[in-house]
Protein backbone atom coordinates (compact mmCIF):
# COMPACT_ATOMS: atom_id res chain seq x y z
CA UNK A 1 0.00 0.00 0.00
CA UNK A 2 1.53 3.37 -0.99
CA UNK A 3 2.46 5.77 1.82
CA UNK A 4 0.61 9.04 1.99
CA UNK A 5 2.81 12.02 1.23
CA UNK A 6 1.80 15.44 2.49
CA UNK A 7 3.17 18.59 0.93
CA UNK A 8 4.29 21.52 3.03
CA UNK A 9 2.51 24.73 2.49
CA UNK A 10 4.30 27.18 0.25
CA UNK A 11 6.45 29.66 2.19
CA UNK A 12 6.28 27.68 5.41
CA UNK A 13 9.51 27.31 7.47
CA UNK A 14 10.72 24.28 9.30
CA UNK A 15 11.31 24.84 13.01
CA UNK A 16 15.02 25.15 13.88
CA UNK A 17 16.10 22.28 16.09
CA UNK A 18 17.40 23.25 19.52
CA UNK A 19 20.78 21.70 18.76
CA UNK A 20 21.16 23.96 15.72
CA UNK A 21 20.36 27.02 17.84
CA UNK A 22 23.05 26.05 20.32
CA UNK A 23 25.54 25.48 17.51
CA UNK A 24 24.82 28.95 16.13
CA UNK A 25 25.78 30.48 19.50
CA UNK A 26 28.43 27.91 20.44
CA UNK A 27 30.69 28.32 17.43
CA UNK A 28 31.30 32.11 17.75
CA UNK A 29 31.93 31.67 21.47
CA UNK A 30 34.51 28.96 20.77
CA UNK A 31 36.17 31.11 18.10
CA UNK A 32 36.30 34.04 20.53
CA UNK A 33 37.81 31.89 23.28
CA UNK A 34 40.43 30.52 20.88
CA UNK A 35 41.28 34.07 19.84
CA UNK A 36 41.60 35.18 23.47
CA UNK A 37 43.81 32.22 24.35
CA UNK A 38 45.95 32.83 21.25
CA UNK A 39 46.44 36.47 22.18
CA UNK A 40 47.18 35.73 25.82
CA UNK A 41 49.54 32.82 25.21
CA UNK A 42 50.92 33.33 21.70
CA UNK A 43 54.60 32.33 21.54
CA UNK A 44 55.63 35.67 20.04
CA UNK A 45 54.45 37.48 23.19
CA UNK A 46 56.74 37.88 26.18
CA UNK A 47 55.72 36.52 29.53
CA UNK A 48 54.03 39.18 31.60
CA UNK A 49 53.29 39.31 35.30
CA UNK A 50 50.48 41.80 35.77
CA UNK A 51 49.66 42.81 39.31
CA UNK A 52 46.80 44.81 40.77
CA UNK A 53 46.99 48.08 42.65
CA UNK A 54 44.96 51.26 43.11
CA UNK A 55 46.05 54.36 41.16
CA UNK A 56 44.93 56.46 44.12
CA UNK A 57 47.95 55.14 46.01
CA UNK A 58 50.56 56.80 43.81
CA UNK A 59 49.06 59.78 41.95
CA UNK A 60 48.70 63.32 43.33
CA UNK A 61 45.20 64.06 44.55
CA UNK A 62 44.56 67.27 42.60
CA UNK A 63 46.02 70.23 40.73
CA UNK A 64 45.95 72.37 43.86
CA UNK A 65 48.62 73.85 46.11
CA UNK A 66 52.08 73.43 44.55
CA UNK A 67 50.47 71.96 41.42
CA UNK A 68 48.09 74.90 40.89
CA UNK A 69 46.99 75.21 37.28
CA UNK A 70 48.34 77.74 34.77
CA UNK A 71 49.06 77.86 31.05
CA UNK A 72 52.73 78.88 31.13
CA UNK A 73 54.00 75.77 29.34
CA UNK A 74 51.52 76.26 26.50
CA UNK A 75 53.31 79.52 25.63
CA UNK A 76 56.39 77.63 24.44
CA UNK A 77 57.27 77.87 20.76
CA UNK A 78 57.87 74.79 18.63
CA UNK A 79 61.14 74.52 16.75
CA UNK A 80 61.73 72.36 13.66
CA UNK A 81 58.17 71.00 13.51
CA UNK A 82 58.05 67.78 11.43
CA UNK A 83 61.80 68.08 10.79
CA UNK A 84 62.83 66.20 13.93
CA UNK A 85 61.32 63.13 15.55
CA UNK A 86 61.79 61.96 19.12
CA UNK A 87 64.25 64.62 20.43
CA UNK A 88 64.49 62.84 23.79
CA UNK A 89 67.42 64.48 25.62
CA UNK A 90 69.27 67.78 25.22
CA UNK A 91 72.78 68.70 26.39
CA UNK A 92 74.18 72.27 26.26
CA UNK A 93 77.82 73.15 25.68
CA UNK A 94 79.39 76.54 24.85
CA UNK A 95 76.19 78.11 23.54
CA UNK A 96 75.04 75.10 21.54
CA UNK A 97 72.63 72.29 22.36
CA UNK A 98 73.03 68.64 21.33
CA UNK A 99 70.05 66.32 20.91
CA UNK A 100 69.53 62.75 19.64
CA UNK A 101 66.70 61.72 17.32
CA UNK A 102 64.69 58.63 16.44
CA UNK A 103 66.62 58.15 13.18
CA UNK A 104 70.00 57.95 14.94
CA UNK A 105 71.17 61.48 14.24
CA UNK A 106 72.59 63.76 16.91
CA UNK A 107 71.91 67.40 16.06
CA UNK A 108 73.77 70.54 17.05
CA UNK A 109 71.41 73.48 17.64
CA UNK A 110 72.48 77.11 17.59
CA UNK A 111 70.42 80.28 17.08
CA UNK A 112 67.30 78.18 16.44
CA UNK A 113 68.99 76.38 13.55
CA UNK A 114 70.37 72.88 13.44
CA UNK A 115 73.00 70.82 11.69
CA UNK A 116 73.76 67.10 11.92
CA UNK A 117 76.63 66.70 14.38
CA UNK A 118 77.06 62.92 14.11
CA UNK A 119 75.09 59.67 14.01
CA UNK A 120 75.06 56.58 16.25
CA UNK A 121 75.48 52.93 15.32
CA UNK A 122 75.08 52.15 11.63
CA UNK A 123 72.55 54.91 11.13
CA UNK A 124 73.21 57.61 8.55
CA UNK A 125 70.14 59.61 9.46
CA UNK A 126 67.79 57.64 7.23
CA UNK A 127 67.22 54.67 9.52
CA UNK A 128 63.57 53.45 9.49
CA UNK A 129 62.00 53.61 12.93
CA UNK A 130 61.16 49.90 12.97
CA UNK A 131 64.88 49.08 12.61
CA UNK A 132 66.06 51.10 15.59
CA UNK A 133 67.40 48.00 17.37
CA UNK A 134 69.81 47.43 14.50
CA UNK A 135 70.58 51.07 13.76
CA UNK A 136 70.81 52.47 17.30
CA UNK A 137 68.70 54.97 19.24
CA UNK A 138 70.30 57.88 21.19
CA UNK A 139 68.56 58.73 24.46
CA UNK A 140 70.27 60.45 27.43
CA UNK A 141 72.93 63.06 26.56
CA UNK A 142 75.58 64.78 28.72
CA UNK A 143 78.57 66.96 27.89
CA UNK A 144 81.61 67.14 30.18
CA UNK A 145 83.60 70.28 30.87
CA UNK A 146 86.22 69.03 28.38
CA UNK A 147 83.70 68.86 25.57
CA UNK A 148 83.06 65.12 25.45
CA UNK A 149 79.48 64.24 24.60
CA UNK A 150 78.32 61.07 26.35
CA UNK A 151 75.24 59.43 24.85
CA UNK A 152 73.17 56.44 25.89
CA UNK A 153 72.30 54.25 22.93
CA UNK A 154 69.31 52.34 24.28
CA UNK A 155 70.33 49.15 22.49
CA UNK A 156 74.10 49.26 22.15
CA UNK A 157 75.59 51.02 25.17
CA UNK A 158 77.35 54.21 26.25
CA UNK A 159 79.00 56.31 23.53
CA UNK A 160 81.47 59.17 23.73
CA UNK A 161 82.03 61.80 21.03
CA UNK A 162 84.57 64.61 21.17
CA UNK A 163 82.73 67.78 20.21
CA UNK A 164 85.99 69.52 19.30
CA UNK A 165 87.21 66.74 17.00
CA UNK A 166 87.44 67.69 13.29
CA UNK A 167 85.28 64.69 12.34
CA UNK A 168 83.18 63.81 15.39
CA UNK A 169 82.47 60.10 15.58
CA UNK A 170 81.07 58.18 18.59
CA UNK A 171 83.25 55.56 20.26
CA UNK A 172 81.87 52.80 22.44
CA UNK A 173 82.65 53.29 26.14
CA UNK A 174 80.53 50.46 27.56
CA UNK A 175 78.65 47.84 25.59
CA UNK A 176 75.12 46.77 26.50
CA UNK A 177 76.38 43.20 26.19
CA UNK A 178 78.61 43.60 29.24
CA UNK A 179 77.45 41.17 31.90
CA UNK A 180 76.83 42.96 35.20
CA UNK A 181 75.84 40.64 38.02
CA UNK A 182 74.95 38.05 35.42
CA UNK A 183 72.74 40.28 33.26
CA UNK A 184 73.47 42.38 30.19
CA UNK A 185 71.80 45.78 29.85
CA UNK A 186 68.46 45.44 28.10
CA UNK A 187 67.22 49.03 28.21
CA UNK A 188 69.83 51.68 28.97
CA UNK A 189 68.03 54.99 29.36
CA UNK A 190 69.83 57.93 30.97
CA UNK A 191 73.21 58.82 32.43
CA UNK A 192 75.14 61.41 34.42
CA UNK A 193 78.91 61.91 34.69
CA UNK A 194 80.91 62.44 37.88
CA UNK A 195 84.05 63.92 36.37
CA UNK A 196 87.38 62.90 37.88
CA UNK A 197 85.79 60.61 40.49
CA UNK A 198 87.12 57.37 39.04
CA UNK A 199 90.39 55.49 38.76
CA UNK A 200 93.41 57.69 37.93
CA UNK A 201 91.16 60.75 37.78
CA UNK A 202 88.87 59.21 35.17
CA UNK A 203 85.11 59.61 35.02
CA UNK A 204 82.44 57.66 36.84
CA UNK A 205 79.23 57.17 34.89
CA UNK A 206 75.91 56.55 36.62
CA UNK A 207 73.25 55.16 34.31
CA UNK A 208 69.74 53.75 34.50
CA UNK A 209 68.92 50.35 33.04
CA UNK A 210 65.14 50.58 32.90
CA UNK A 211 64.45 46.86 32.65
CA UNK A 212 66.14 43.48 32.43
CA UNK A 213 63.08 42.07 30.67
CA UNK A 214 61.93 44.71 28.18
CA UNK A 215 63.72 47.04 25.76
CA UNK A 216 62.99 50.56 24.48
CA UNK A 217 60.41 49.34 21.96
CA UNK A 218 58.42 47.97 24.90
CA UNK A 219 58.06 51.10 27.03
CA UNK A 220 54.34 50.67 27.66
CA UNK A 221 54.60 46.98 28.67
CA UNK A 222 57.40 47.97 31.05
CA UNK A 223 54.97 50.28 32.85
CA UNK A 224 51.76 48.24 32.60
CA UNK A 225 53.47 45.04 33.72
CA UNK A 226 54.88 46.91 36.73
CA UNK A 227 58.24 45.36 35.84
CA UNK A 228 60.61 45.65 38.81
CA UNK A 229 63.86 44.52 37.18
CA UNK A 230 65.17 48.06 36.70
CA UNK A 231 68.56 49.01 38.14
CA UNK A 232 71.17 51.76 38.38
CA UNK A 233 74.72 51.01 37.24
CA UNK A 234 77.93 52.71 38.31
CA UNK A 235 80.72 52.45 35.73
CA UNK A 236 84.37 53.38 36.23
CA UNK A 237 85.48 54.38 32.75
CA UNK A 238 89.22 53.85 33.23
CA UNK A 239 89.01 50.64 35.25
CA UNK A 240 86.15 49.42 33.01
CA UNK A 241 84.36 48.18 36.10
CA UNK A 242 80.58 48.12 36.37
CA UNK A 243 78.63 47.76 39.60
CA UNK A 244 74.90 47.60 40.29
CA UNK A 245 74.17 50.12 43.05
CA UNK A 246 70.35 50.08 42.93
CA UNK A 247 67.98 47.31 41.82
CA UNK A 248 64.40 46.16 42.08
CA UNK A 249 63.21 49.47 40.58
CA UNK A 250 60.04 49.98 38.55
CA UNK A 251 61.25 51.67 35.36
CA UNK A 252 64.12 53.91 36.56
CA UNK A 253 64.62 56.63 33.98
CA UNK A 254 66.09 60.10 34.52
CA UNK A 255 69.17 60.44 36.72
CA UNK A 256 71.05 63.45 38.10
CA UNK A 257 73.98 64.11 40.46
CA UNK A 258 73.50 66.49 43.37
CA UNK A 259 75.76 69.52 43.68
CA UNK A 260 77.78 68.01 46.54
CA UNK A 261 78.14 64.78 44.49
CA UNK A 262 77.21 62.62 47.48
CA UNK A 263 73.98 61.34 45.97
CA UNK A 264 72.09 60.70 42.77
CA UNK A 265 68.43 61.51 42.08
CA UNK A 266 66.58 58.80 40.17
CA UNK A 267 63.13 59.12 38.58
CA UNK A 268 61.09 55.93 38.98
CA UNK A 269 58.43 56.20 36.29
CA UNK A 270 55.96 53.46 37.24
CA UNK A 271 55.85 54.49 40.91
CA UNK A 272 55.51 58.21 40.03
CA UNK A 273 58.31 59.21 42.40
CA UNK A 274 61.93 60.38 42.67
CA UNK A 275 64.46 58.54 44.80
CA UNK A 276 67.65 59.85 46.37
CA UNK A 277 70.47 57.31 46.60
CA UNK A 278 73.68 58.16 48.46
CA UNK A 279 76.91 57.18 46.69
CA UNK A 280 79.39 58.86 49.08
CA UNK A 281 79.60 59.89 52.72
CA UNK A 282 78.13 58.36 55.87
CA UNK A 283 74.83 57.44 54.14
CA UNK A 284 76.53 55.74 51.17
CA UNK A 285 74.49 52.80 49.88
CA UNK A 286 71.18 53.97 51.36
CA UNK A 287 68.09 55.16 49.48
CA UNK A 288 65.27 57.47 50.48
CA UNK A 289 62.18 58.81 48.74
CA UNK A 290 62.75 62.44 47.74
CA UNK A 291 59.21 63.04 46.50
CA UNK A 292 56.33 60.72 45.65
CA UNK A 293 52.73 60.82 44.43
CA UNK A 294 53.68 63.02 41.49
CA UNK A 295 50.92 64.03 39.04
CA UNK A 296 52.34 61.92 36.23
CA UNK A 297 55.35 59.90 35.15
CA UNK A 298 58.70 61.62 35.92
CA UNK A 299 61.03 61.13 32.97
CA UNK A 300 64.38 62.93 32.90
CA UNK A 301 65.67 65.19 35.67
CA UNK A 302 68.21 67.98 35.08
CA UNK A 303 69.90 70.64 37.21
CA UNK A 304 68.60 74.15 36.60
CA UNK A 305 70.91 77.10 35.95
CA UNK A 306 70.03 78.81 39.23
CA UNK A 307 72.94 79.90 41.44
CA UNK A 308 70.86 81.03 44.41
CA UNK A 309 69.23 77.66 44.98
CA UNK A 310 69.88 74.02 44.03
CA UNK A 311 66.87 73.11 41.90
CA UNK A 312 66.07 70.56 39.23
CA UNK A 313 63.68 70.40 36.31
CA UNK A 314 61.57 67.26 35.98
CA UNK A 315 59.62 66.40 32.83
CA UNK A 316 56.26 64.68 33.32
CA UNK A 317 54.99 62.60 30.42
CA UNK A 318 51.22 62.68 31.03
CA UNK A 319 50.01 64.98 33.82
CA UNK A 320 46.94 63.88 35.76
CA UNK A 321 45.62 63.32 39.29
CA UNK A 322 43.30 60.97 41.14
CA UNK A 323 40.48 63.38 40.31
CA UNK A 324 41.07 63.01 36.56
CA UNK A 325 42.82 59.67 35.91
CA UNK A 326 43.34 58.31 32.42
CA UNK A 327 42.43 54.90 31.02
CA UNK A 328 45.72 53.32 32.12
CA UNK A 329 45.04 54.32 35.73
CA UNK A 330 41.51 52.93 35.55
CA UNK A 331 42.98 49.55 34.62
CA UNK A 332 45.50 49.42 37.47
CA UNK A 333 43.27 47.14 39.54
CA UNK A 334 42.23 45.10 36.49
CA UNK A 335 45.35 43.09 35.57
CA UNK A 336 43.54 40.70 33.22
CA UNK A 337 42.12 43.54 31.12
CA UNK A 338 45.50 45.28 30.97
CA UNK A 339 47.09 42.04 29.90
CA UNK A 340 44.53 41.34 27.19
CA UNK A 341 44.48 44.93 25.85
CA UNK A 342 48.26 45.09 25.68
CA UNK A 343 48.61 41.78 23.89
CA UNK A 344 45.78 42.58 21.47
CA UNK A 345 47.37 45.87 20.43
CA UNK A 346 50.75 44.19 20.07
CA UNK A 347 49.27 41.37 17.98
CA UNK A 348 47.47 43.80 15.66
CA UNK A 349 50.59 45.92 15.23
CA UNK A 350 52.72 42.86 14.58
CA UNK A 351 50.28 41.66 11.92
CA UNK A 352 50.15 45.05 10.17
CA UNK A 353 53.95 45.30 10.23
CA UNK A 354 54.28 41.77 8.83
CA UNK A 355 52.01 42.53 5.87
CA UNK A 356 53.78 45.85 5.32
CA UNK A 357 57.09 44.05 5.01
CA UNK A 358 55.50 41.31 2.90
CA UNK A 359 54.25 43.77 0.28
CA UNK A 360 57.30 46.02 0.77
CA UNK A 361 55.29 49.00 1.94
CA UNK A 362 57.36 51.28 4.23
CA UNK A 363 54.26 53.26 5.23
CA UNK A 364 52.31 50.17 6.30
CA UNK A 365 55.36 48.70 8.04
CA UNK A 366 55.84 51.92 9.99
CA UNK A 367 52.17 52.02 10.93
CA UNK A 368 52.33 48.49 12.31
CA UNK A 369 55.47 49.30 14.30
CA UNK A 370 53.82 52.46 15.67
CA UNK A 371 50.77 50.46 16.76
CA UNK A 372 52.66 47.74 18.60
CA UNK A 373 55.08 50.18 20.26
CA UNK A 374 52.28 52.60 21.22
CA UNK A 375 53.92 55.44 19.29
CA UNK A 376 50.41 56.56 18.36
CA UNK A 377 50.26 58.22 21.78
CA UNK A 378 50.98 61.51 20.03
CA UNK A 379 47.60 61.31 18.29
CA UNK A 380 45.91 61.97 21.62
CA UNK A 381 45.81 65.12 23.73
CA UNK A 382 47.31 64.96 27.21
CA UNK A 383 48.05 67.72 29.70
CA UNK A 384 51.72 68.68 29.64
CA UNK A 385 53.69 69.53 32.78
CA UNK A 386 57.18 70.48 33.93
CA UNK A 387 58.19 70.69 37.59
CA UNK A 388 61.03 72.53 39.28
CA UNK A 389 61.96 70.96 42.62
CA UNK A 390 64.68 71.73 45.15
CA UNK A 391 67.17 69.26 46.60
CA UNK A 392 64.82 68.46 49.48
CA UNK A 393 61.97 67.54 47.12
CA UNK A 394 59.92 70.69 47.58
CA UNK A 395 58.03 71.99 44.53
CA UNK A 396 59.49 75.35 43.49
CA UNK A 397 57.44 75.91 40.34
CA UNK A 398 54.97 73.98 38.22
CA UNK A 399 54.31 74.73 34.55
CA UNK A 400 51.14 73.45 32.87
CA UNK A 401 49.95 73.01 29.31
CA UNK A 402 46.25 72.29 30.01
CA UNK A 403 45.35 72.31 26.32
CA UNK A 404 48.01 69.68 25.56
CA UNK A 405 49.79 71.84 22.99
CA UNK A 406 53.01 70.90 24.78
CA UNK A 407 52.85 67.34 26.09
CA UNK A 408 54.56 63.94 26.41
CA UNK A 409 57.75 65.59 27.65
CA UNK A 410 60.84 63.51 28.34
CA UNK A 411 63.23 66.30 29.34
CA UNK A 412 63.28 69.93 30.41
CA UNK A 413 66.74 71.41 29.94
CA UNK A 414 67.46 74.95 31.12
CA UNK A 415 70.14 77.13 29.52
CA UNK A 416 71.07 80.79 29.68
CA UNK A 417 70.69 82.73 26.43
CA UNK A 418 71.63 86.38 26.78
CA UNK A 419 70.12 87.43 30.07
CA UNK A 420 67.23 84.96 29.92
CA UNK A 421 66.56 81.56 31.39
CA UNK A 422 65.39 79.36 28.54
CA UNK A 423 63.83 75.91 28.72
CA UNK A 424 64.35 73.44 25.88
CA UNK A 425 61.66 70.75 25.89
CA UNK A 426 62.44 67.27 24.60
CA UNK A 427 60.17 64.29 23.94
CA UNK A 428 60.61 60.71 22.80
CA UNK A 429 57.27 61.05 20.93
CA UNK A 430 57.01 64.61 19.61
CA UNK A 431 58.09 65.88 16.21
CA UNK A 432 59.36 69.21 17.47
CA UNK A 433 61.57 70.74 20.17
CA UNK A 434 59.82 73.10 22.53
CA UNK A 435 61.42 76.36 23.64
CA UNK A 436 60.18 78.53 26.48
CA UNK A 437 61.73 81.79 27.66
CA UNK A 438 61.12 82.24 31.39
CA UNK A 439 60.17 85.69 32.55
| Per-residue model confidence as pLDDT tens for the chain (439 residues) | 444 444 445 445 555 555 555 555 656 656 555 555 555 556 555 667 778 889 999 999 999 999 999 999 999 999 999 999 999 999 999 999 999 999 999 999 999 999 999 999 887 778 888 999 989 999 999 999 999 999 999 999 999 999 999 999 999 999 999 999 999 999 999 999 999 999 999 999 999 999 999 999 999 889 988 999 999 999 999 999 999 999 999 999 999 999 999 999 999 999 999 999 999 999 999 999 999 999 999 999 999 999 999 999 999 999 999 999 988 898 899 988 888 888 888 888 888 998 999 999 999 999 999 999 988 777 788 999 999 999 999 999 999 999 999 999 999 999 999 999 999 999 999 999 999 999 7
Residue at 3 is within a domain: no
Tell whether 402 is covered by a domain: yes
Tell whether 127 is covered by a domain.
yes
| 246 bridge partner residues | 232
Residue 4 lies in a domain: no
pLDDT of residue 375: 86
**Count: domains in the chain:** 1
What's the pTM?
A: 0.89
Q: Which helix (H) or strand (E) holds 390?
A: strand 384-390
List the domain range (segments joined by +) for residue 268: 43-438
Burial 275-311 (b: 16+ CB within 10 A, else e): bbbbbeeeeeeebeebbebbbbbbbbbbbbeeeeeeb
Q: Is residue 83 situated within a structural domain?
A: yes
The dihedral formed by the CA atoms of 238, 239, 240 and 243, expressed in degrees to the nearest 10: -120
- DSSP H/E element including 273: strand 273-278
**CATH number of residue 370's parent domain:** 2.120.10.30
Distance in angstroms (rounded) separating the CA atoms of residues 197 and 157: 21
Contact 135, 123 (CB under 8 A): yes
253 in a structural domain: yes
Amino acid sequence: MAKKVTKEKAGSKRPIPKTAKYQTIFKPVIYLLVLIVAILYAPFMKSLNFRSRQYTDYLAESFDGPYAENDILSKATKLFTDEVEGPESLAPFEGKVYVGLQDGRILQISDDKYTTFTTVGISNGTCPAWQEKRCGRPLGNRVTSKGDLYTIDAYHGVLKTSIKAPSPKPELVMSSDLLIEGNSSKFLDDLVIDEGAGTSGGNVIYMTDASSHFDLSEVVPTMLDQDDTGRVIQYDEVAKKATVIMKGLLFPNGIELTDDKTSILVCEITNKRILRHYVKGPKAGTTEVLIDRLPGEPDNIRRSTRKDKETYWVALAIARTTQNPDLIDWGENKPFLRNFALRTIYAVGNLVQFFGQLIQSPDLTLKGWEIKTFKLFNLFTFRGMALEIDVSGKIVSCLHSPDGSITLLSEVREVIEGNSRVLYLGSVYNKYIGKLVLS
